């Protein structure tokens, strides 16, 4: 199990996202941003817009970087 904060994943708050795989943490992180955004939280709304706007190339780049971060992070 590894733990990341929203901020460590490129987000804006200190909510903790945890999971056993990079895929799991990434999915939960995305769900967190969508949830906060749906609640009308402005900084997460901006994040979601940025995520939607970055396209496949941007997403692939983020994913590549995040996989490295996940591998380097010690188990929590």
Interface ranges with Zn ion (CB under 5 A): 6, 11, 13, 15
Nearer to Zn ion, 11 or 70 (CB): 11
Distance (Å) of CA 73 to CA 17, 34, 37, 40, 69 = 13, 25, 27, 31, 6
Nearer to Zn ion, 56 or 65 (CB): 65
CB of 66 to Zn ion, least distance (A): 15
CB of 70 to Zn ion, least distance (A): 17
């Amino acid at each position: 199990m590894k733990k990341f904060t929203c901020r460590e994943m490129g987000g804006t708050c200190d909510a903790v996202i945890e999971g056993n795989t990079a895929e799991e943490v990434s999915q939960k992180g995305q769900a967190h941003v969508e949830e906060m955004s749906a609640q009308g939280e402005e900084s997460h709304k901006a994040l979601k817009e940025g995520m939607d706007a970055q396209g496949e190339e941007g997403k692939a780049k983020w994913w590549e970087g995040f996989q490295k971060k996940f591998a380097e992070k010690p188990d929590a």
